[in-house]
A and B are shown apart, each in its own frame.
Chain A
Amino acid sequence: MPRIMSVENLSVRFASRSGQIEVVKDLNFDLWTGQVLGLVGESGSGKTQAFLAIMGLLARNGRAEGRALLGDVDLLQLKPRALNRMRGREIAMVFQDTAAALNPTLRIGIQMAEVLALHHAVPLPQAELAAIDMLDMVGISDPERRARCYPHELSGGMRQRVLIGMALMCRPKVLIADEATASLDATVQAQILTLFKTVCDRLGTALVLITHDLSLAASIADRMMVMYAGQAVEIATTDALFHDPRHPYTRGLLASTPAATVTRGKLYTIPGPPPRLLEGERGCRFNPRCPHRAAHCVELAPILRPVALDHQVACHFDIGGASQ
């Protein structure tokens, strides 16, 4: 299976009053044709910022370093004009918060069609026909009428489908879905996940599913990446991650996921506050909250190392065995 994208040593820093804040640190991962990568981690773990950096959409005080190779093009080195040729065509992103992600003053048909019109030099009216087809494909009934609607005339679920359809207009090689189903109710969520899976199978798109919901990621992801404090702490196949988690944080996450079958007892929570991200701090970023902490964890940052086939962990210990 061909590799579409490989991200090497991606770091993202923000300048702030209290110094440089490193929200993403030395991130390394690959994306493969037609595969789904589930990216999980708590709020502020750098999931979104990593991909905003790859898309060249960081806030003004943000800086990205490293390489993000799409084919043999490094997205981080591209000039604005060249980057614009990639965004929306080769790599697209579906944002969270559907209410704010669509322009309130433009009809959704236009908003979808303009991507195609721009990248494939199709006249706008013709591109709108393609937009109607796409609305149909993402499961919106009566697409001709919906294309003429303004965003406020659609429900949240429909807007989410519109955003997904919009991202797919140019059949991108990489699709990033950032909490794309977070605001939807469970049945719509399931439909949209199915849609994602179909799209990946049909178009060979590599999907990155950013979420804080482990079970949701597990339902369609082929591989999982767990992020903590801007770093990847564990990368594994979904199977391996759930049945043989190696990082203390991953174990904590799994243990703190409520299960439908257990009705008694207190839900596990990871102790301690979320991390500070100031640059220049030594040691493992998870060490203050880690049950396995040892002296060298405070001094030395662990690097991501393979522990099994297609399974990498950033921890000094080898905590094997079954899940807690």
Chain B
Amino acid sequence: MFTRVLKRIAIALVTILVTGTLAFILVRVAPGSPIAAKQLPSQAALNLTAYYGLDQPLWVQYLDYLRRVFVDFDFGPSFQYHGRSVRDVLATALPVTLTIGLWAALVATVCGAAIGTAAAIWRGQWIDHLAVGLTILMQMVPTFVVAPVLVLVFTLTLRWLPGGGWNAGDPAHVILPVFTLALTQLPNVTRIVRASAIEVLGSNYMLVARGKGLPWPLLYFRHALRPTLLPLVSYLGPMPLSLVAGMTLTDLFFSTGGVGTVFVSAALARDYAVVVTITLASAVLITLSNCLIDLLYAALDPRIGVER
């Protein structure tokens, strides 16, 4: 078990390093530069280039970057926001993104599991048809359509919720972005849980459990819950990845000022340090969640774990 955990950590570190390196190279290879984007007089541009060390060979810059990140935990200055380090920029953006992301993951998981289970229990009845229909609909409609529709309904028509802004995390401002993002994950969760619940409820051991005279709370919660959740847990691993991807759009649409907005403007302004750092942070987040999921899986399913 211990060696297994060590091995996982080693693989995770390599993954993060490779992702960071690729991001570092790709963003430099892209045409344009952070200095050119500012359209300064030539001497000033040269001075700035030297100041940020961009005149050095790429491999020197790379090693320098690695040393700063891993030794000093310093991600360098932002080229785009004057006088602010990448750390400062992310310190304001990251909490926004984490708040929205975690809530969205929670909403999608809980609602999806509930809807999927209900659909499986009343399989073939109207609840099931409704759930499956809505799932397909949600899967088809992209975020850039869902977000305006939500704003149209809840902001412009009903006037219940603000249509954008962050306002220091005021709950009313959080709700729409969270639901928009959750809706990108909800269909997958619902589908997985429904399929899994149908399989579990039709399994032989559930028949045996019913044959023992167990009432429904014991049937569902003691016997069916854990095996039903197993496939969902393995989906939770890659979920942060799609959340990160979906976040950019919701962040831009609702002007919440999260990592998504920062990432897009940084990419446009060739703000190298910010782009690479956000990519690195995403890689860390995803590998970390995958490790956690592995451990959770072993805890849920006794067939996995100690023997290997």
Taking CB atoms and an 8 Å cut-off, the chain B residues in 158-208 that contact chain A are 203-205, 207-208
Residue on B nearest A95 in the bound complex, by CB? B208
Asked if B213 contacts A103 (CB within 8 A), the reply is no
B227 within 8 A of A: yes
Asked if B211 contacts A114 (CB within 8 A), the reply is no
| Choice from B203, B207, B212 contacting A115 with Cβ under 8 Å | B212
Bound-state CA distance A119–B207 (Å) is: 18
Asked if A84 contacts B215 (CB within 8 A), the reply is yes
Contacts of B308 in A (CB 8 A): none
Beyond A102-B205, A105-B226, is A55–B214 a contact (Cβ under 8 Å)?
Answer: no
Q: Say how far B143's CB is from chain A's closest CB, in angstroms.
A: 36
Bound-state CA distance A93–B204 (Å) is: 12
Asked if B213 contacts A57 (CB within 8 A), the reply is no
Asked if A103 contacts B211 (CB within 8 A), the reply is no
By the criterion of a CB under 8 Å from any partner CB, how many residues of chain B are at the interface?
Answer: 21
Asked if B222 contacts A87 (CB within 8 A), the reply is no
Residue on B nearest A103 in the bound complex, by CB? B205
Residue on A nearest B205 in the bound complex, by CB? A103
| Choice from A100, A115, A163 contacting B213 with Cβ under 8 Å | A115
Asked if B208 contacts A114 (CB within 8 A), the reply is no
Residue on A nearest B207 in the bound complex, by CB? A57
Asked if A84 contacts B207 (CB within 8 A), the reply is no
Residue on A nearest B214 in the bound complex, by CB? A118
Asked if B215 contacts A92 (CB within 8 A), the reply is no
Bound-state CA distance A151–B207 (Å) is: 16
Question: Beta-carbon contacts of A90-125 to B below 8 Å, as 1s and 0s?
Answer: 001101010011111110000000110011000000
Asked if B215 contacts A105 (CB within 8 A), the reply is no
A81 within 8 A of B: yes
Beyond A103-B227, A105-B300, is A95–B204 a contact (Cβ under 8 Å)?
Answer: yes
Asked if B302 contacts A87 (CB within 8 A), the reply is no
Asked if A106 contacts B223 (CB within 8 A), the reply is yes
Q: Say how far B292's CB is from chain A's closest CB, in angstroms.
A: 19
Bound-state CA distance A159–B223 (Å) is: 18
Contacts of A101 in B (CB 8 A): 204-205, 207-208
| Choice from B203, B218, B227 contacting A118 with Cβ under 8 Å | B218
B82 within 8 A of A: no
Contacts of A163 in B (CB 8 A): 208
Residue on A nearest B215 in the bound complex, by CB? A84
Asked if B303 contacts A152 (CB within 8 A), the reply is yes
| Choice from A93, A106, A118 contacting B211 with Cβ under 8 Å | A93
**What interface size band does chain A fall in?**
20 to 34
Taking CB atoms and an 8 Å cut-off, the chain B residues in 30-82 that contact chain A are none
| Choice from A100, A150, A152, A166 contacting B212 with Cβ under 8 Å | A166
Asked if A55 contacts B301 (CB within 8 A), the reply is no
Q: Say how far A58's CB is from chain B's closest CB, in angstroms.
A: 10
Q: Say how far A205's CB is from chain B's closest CB, in angstroms.
A: 16
Residue on A nearest B200 in the bound complex, by CB? A103
| Choice from B205, B211, B223 contacting A92 with Cβ under 8 Å | B211
Bound-state CA distance A101–B209 (Å) is: 9
| Choice from B207, B211, B303 contacting A104 with Cβ under 8 Å | B303
Beyond A84-B215, A106-B222, A106-B223, is A100–B204 a contact (Cβ under 8 Å)?
Answer: yes
B210 within 8 A of A: yes
Asked if B301 contacts A88 (CB within 8 A), the reply is no
Contacts of B222 in A (CB 8 A): 106, 114
Residue on A nearest B223 in the bound complex, by CB? A103
Q: Say how far B260's CB is from chain A's closest CB, in angstroms.
A: 39
Q: Say how far A182's CB is from chain B's closest CB, in angstroms.
A: 14
Asked if B214 contacts A114 (CB within 8 A), the reply is yes
A276 within 8 A of B: no
| Choice from A55, A81, A88, A104 contacting B302 with Cβ under 8 Å | A104
Contacts of B226 in A (CB 8 A): 105
Beyond A105-B226, A105-B301, is A100–B211 a contact (Cβ under 8 Å)?
Answer: no
A69 within 8 A of B: no
Q: Say how far B111's CB is from chain A's closest CB, in angstroms.
A: 24
Asked if A84 contacts B213 (CB within 8 A), the reply is yes
Contacts of B302 in A (CB 8 A): 104-105, 150, 152
Beyond A106-B222, A152-B302, is A100–B214 a contact (Cβ under 8 Å)?
Answer: no
Taking CB atoms and an 8 Å cut-off, the chain B residues in 208-237 that contact chain A are 208-215, 218, 222-223, 226-227
Q: Say how far A145's CB is from chain B's closest CB, in angstroms.
A: 15
Residue on B nearest A96 in the bound complex, by CB? B204
Bound-state CA distance A119–B218 (Å) is: 13
Contacts of A57 in B (CB 8 A): 207, 210-211
Contacts of B218 in A (CB 8 A): 114, 118
Beyond A84-B215, A119-B213, is A100–B303 a contact (Cβ under 8 Å)?
Answer: no
Q: Say how far B225's CB is from chain A's closest CB, in angstroms.
A: 9
Asked if A104 contacts B301 (CB within 8 A), the reply is yes
Bound-state CA distance A200–B303 (Å) is: 35
Q: Say how far B13's CB is from chain A's closest CB, in angstroms.
A: 32
Contacts of A92 in B (CB 8 A): 211-212
A305 within 8 A of B: no
Contacts of B203 in A (CB 8 A): 100
Bound-state CA distance A89–B301 (Å) is: 30
Q: Say how far B119's CB is from chain A's closest CB, in angstroms.
A: 15
Beyond A81-B215, A84-B214, A114-B218, is A103–B209 a contact (Cβ under 8 Å)?
Answer: yes
* 14 A–B contacts, CB within 8 A, in A order: A57-B210, A83-B213, A87-B210, A88-B211, A88-B212, A89-B213, A101-B204, A101-B207, A101-B208, A114-B218, A115-B212, A119-B213, A150-B302, A152-B302
> Which are the 3 A-B pairs with shortest beta-carbon distances?
A87-B213, A88-B213, A100-B204
Interface residues of B (CB under 8 A from A): 203-205, 207-215, 218, 222-223, 226-227, 300-303
